[in-house]
C-alpha cells in the first residue's frame, strides 16, 4: 500500500476525492490535514470530519493553516456557503486531533518506517510551512502529488488556477523544494467529468450524496458532467497509466497581474506535469470505485 497524507479544503470535489480514496485499497491514508481554501478553515475542518463520518472511516484529522503565507485568505462560491452545499451530512462523531497539521505531519513523517506521499488537493500552505520549519523532513517524503496549476490558462483569473492562486507564495516554496512532484492541473482535470450519465443508475448512499452535492457545484453541470479536479490526484496515485505526464520546469508567479500562474520556463525539469488524460479510463475508474462504496 502507498502511505499518504492528504491536505484538503472540502470542497465538493475534495469530498468526492476523499470518498474515492477511502475505497481504493492501493492507498493507506494515515492523516488528513485541513486548511483555508474553498471556504474558511472552520468550515473545511468541519466538512472533512463530516466526510469521514459519512464514509464510516476514522482517519485522524489535523487542523492546519488558517490563512495563506502573505496574502489574505480568499474563498470561492463554487461549492456554496458551507463548502459542501446540497446534502445534509450528519454531524461528525469525530474530533480533530490536538496537534496542528504541520506538527502532525512532522511527527508522522519522523516516526514512519517508510517514506510517505503527500497529496495536496487544496492550497499548499500546510506543506510549505512544513518544509520551511522542518527541512530535514524532506528525506521522509516520497513525493508530492498535487492538484493545482495549469499550463493552459486559469479558472480564477485568465492565468491562475485556484489552489495556486489562493497561496502563490506557498506554492512557490513547494515547487522550488527539489522534491519529486507531480502536478495534476487544469490541463487534465477539466476533462475529468462526472454527471447524470455516470450517477443516474446508481442507488447507493454515496451516489445519492454525489448527485446532491454535484448539483450544487458550480463547476460544470450534471448534463455534461461536473469537474472532478481533486479526484484526478487520487486516480493518478492508484492508476498513473490513465494520465500522460511530462517532465517540465515550472515556476510560480507570485506578483503582478499573473499572480498564481504556473509558468513553464526553460531549464532542468522540477516537476512531472500531467498533460493528458484517458477520459474513458477515468470514467471506468470512477464507476468501478463507486461500485465498492456504501
Choose between 38 and 270: whose C-beta lies nearer to Ca ion.
Answer: 38
Residue of the chain from 59, 117, 163, 272 that contacts ligand BDR (CB under 6 A)? 163
Count of residues interacting with ligand BDR (CB under 6 A): 15
Choose between 140 and 192: whose C-beta lies nearer to Ca ion.
Answer: 192
Cα gap 165→252, rounded to integer Å: 9
Residue of the chain from 3, 6, 13, 282 that contacts ligand BDR (CB under 6 A)? 13
Residue of the chain from 11, 168, 195, 225 that contacts ligand BDR (CB under 6 A)? 11
Catalytic residue among 36, 79, 169, 229: 229
In angstroms, how far is the first alpha carbon of the chain from the final one?
22
Residue of the chain from 229, 250, 277, 286 that contacts ligand BDR (CB under 6 A)? 229
Q: Which of Ca ion, ligand BDR, none is residue 59 near (CB under 5 to 8 Å by kind)?
A: none
Choose between 229 and 248: whose C-beta lies nearer to ligand BDR.
Answer: 229
Residues 6+ apart with CB under 8 A from 209: 54, 87, 89
155 near ligand BDR, judged by CB under 6 A: yes
Choose between 78 and 129: whose C-beta lies nearer to ligand BDR.
Answer: 78
- Does residue 229 carry a catalytic annotation? yes
Which residues contact Ca ion by CB under 5 A?
9, 11, 14, 121-122, 230
Residue numbers annotated as active site: 229
Which residues would be at the binding site for ligand BDR (CB under 6 A)? 11, 13-14, 38, 76, 78, 121-122, 147, 155, 161-163, 229-230
Amino acid at each position: 500500500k502507498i502511505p499518504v497524507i492528504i491536505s484538503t479544503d472540502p470542497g465538493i470535489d475534495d469530498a468526492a476525492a476523499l470518498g474515492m480514496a477511502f475505497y481504493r485499497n492501493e492507498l493507506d491514508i494515515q492523516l488528513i490535514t485541513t486548511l483555508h481554501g474553498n471556504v474558511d478553515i472552520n468550515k473545511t475542518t468541519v466538512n472533512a470530519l463530516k466526510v469521514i463520518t459519512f464514509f464510516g472511516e476514522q482517519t485522524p484529522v489535523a487542523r492546519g493553516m488558517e490563512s495563506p503565507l502573505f496574502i489574505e485568505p480568499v474563498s470561492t462560491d463554487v461549492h456554496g456557503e458551507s463548502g459542501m452545499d446540497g446534502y445534509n451530512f450528519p454531524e461528525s462523531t469525530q474530533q480533530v486531533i490536538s496537534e496542528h497539521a504541520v506538527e502532525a505531519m512532522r511527527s508522522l513523517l519522523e516516526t514512519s518506517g517508510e517514506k510517505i506521499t503527500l497529496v495536496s488537493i487544496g492550497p499548499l500552505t500546510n506543506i510549505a510551512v512544513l518544509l520551511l520549519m522542518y527541512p530535514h523532513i524532506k528525506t521522509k517524503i516520497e513525493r508530492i502529488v498535487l492538484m493545482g496549476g495549469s499550463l493552459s490558462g486559469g479558472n480564477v483569473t485568465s492565468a491562475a488556477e485556484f489552489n495556486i492562486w489562493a497561496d502563490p507564495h506557498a506554492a512557490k516554496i513547494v515547487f522550488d523544494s527539489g522534491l519529486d512532484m507531480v502536478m495534476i492541473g487544469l490541463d487534465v482535470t477539466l476533462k475529468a467529468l462526472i454527471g447524470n450519465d455516470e450517477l443516474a443508475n446508481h442507488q447507493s448512499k454515496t451516489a445519492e450524496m454525489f448527485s446532491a452535492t454535484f448539483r450544487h457545484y458550480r463547476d460544470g453541470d450534471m448534463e455534461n458532467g461536473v469537474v472532478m479536479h481533486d479526484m484526478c490526484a487520487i486516480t493518478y496515485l492508484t492508476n498513473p497509466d490513465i494520465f500522460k505526464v511530462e517532465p517540465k520546469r515550472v515556476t510560480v508567479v507570485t506578483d503582478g497581474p499573473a499572480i498564481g500562474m504556473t509558468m513553464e520556463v526553460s531549464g532542468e525539469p522540477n516537476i512531472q506535469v500531467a498533460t493528458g488524460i484517458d477520459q474513458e479510463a477515468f470514467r471506468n475508474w470512477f464507476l468501478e470505485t463507486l461500485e465498492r462504496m456504501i
